[in-house]
Chain A
Amino acid sequence: MTEASLSLLGAKVVVATSSDENHPPENIIDGNTNTFWMSTGMFPQEFIIRLPEPTMVSAVTVDSYNVKHLKIEKKMSQNASQFEFATQKEFQNTEGHLQSNAISLNGSSATDLRFIITTGHDHFVSVHRVTVQN
């Protein structure tokens, strides 16, 4: 999955808490860091990526800006009623260039990945690309 964008592989962003129509959540999974989804005020902010099938995920890479703290939750199957905590990470502030963070998920199986941005280095954050490594 590292080569092709998530959207080409059939993944979808099914939930996103902010909407600037020029920067829609689909930009997160188009594989392009020049396009982005942007939050439009207040925290927490979140989005959910639905994978086309249960997938073993060893890590995700998140390209973003202004994100300070990210929590990831996952759903093991489409039928699971609740998300389970997967991991969390503090992001360093970067100026003038994107944050790029690889986050290990220990090879657990998941159908849905929920990204919760609990705080930011500014009022607004952007997410440019999420990739999933098997």
Chain B
Amino acid sequence: MKSEKKSVTVKELLDGLGDEMKFKVISGFNGLQRSITAAEVNRPGLALAGYYEHFAKHRLQVLGLVEMDYLKNISSSEHSERLGRLMQMRIPAFIIARNFIPLPETVALSNKYNVPIIRAPGITMRVVNKTSMWLEEQFSPSTKVHGVLMEVYGMGVLITGKASVGKSECALSLVERGHILVGDDVVTLKLTEGMFVTGYANPTIGHHMEIRGIGIINIQSLYGVKSIRMWKHIDFVVTLEEWQEDSNYERLGIDNNLIELLGMEIPNVLIPVKPGRDVALLIETAAQNEKLKKLGFNAARDFNEHLIASMKKK
């Protein structure tokens, strides 16, 4: 189910980032379906000066102070020849930072070749950073998993396990104790910033849960807005399974069990479920224990060191 987007359109960029960056398309409206296939953005300074070798034509082109000033200072024949050449290379769009106003000739070329020009009030560096971060997020691998994502004591916990093992009930119990629900049942995972596995609530399901015997409940209206959030980095995975007498469950916790999610290794805690076991309490404990490990303290190892030391004394 793992998937990776290969391209986004200029329109998708405007829909996704337009409000935050106050993007405004001023020309080349017929080119809004052009696709962006690279996560990086480019500043086309050298190409504007006439050097086209290795020009990053698949990238969004950001025009800042230098480029805009340069365009003003070249002759109009140079202007139309160079910009015209760039626009025929099927670049996705231009973004002009600092709300600079483009020359009428630039606008005319943009309409002629249907390459959108987008104006943005932000300074160039901010436009470059924000846009590349957004693009990187779009191109990062993603997948869907069956489970519940919660924030427990600040830790992102993905609770997985077979159908009707009690994931939702356990999550409800955690919410009742003041923890936070991100998403129930189907959680979208994305690799963000190349190192975090981030889980997102599903927009259709929102913060609804289905509890056998009761039906669909709305966590936000039952427990308040404090009990929900939209996304969370995943710190560890809890796998719930029916207690099996012949299975050897973790007794020490000295070694970390790991599970692979989107190519990243995430600690995995297997918790057997049987009537009378307070699974929510166990997950709270696991969360605190993982938090300690993250801070460099491993209770099991620490205990073992003490044990070895006391044996040496004898």
Real binding pair: no
Q: Which A positions have Cβ atoms within 8 angstroms of B?
A: none
Which positions in B face A, CB cutoff 8 Å? none
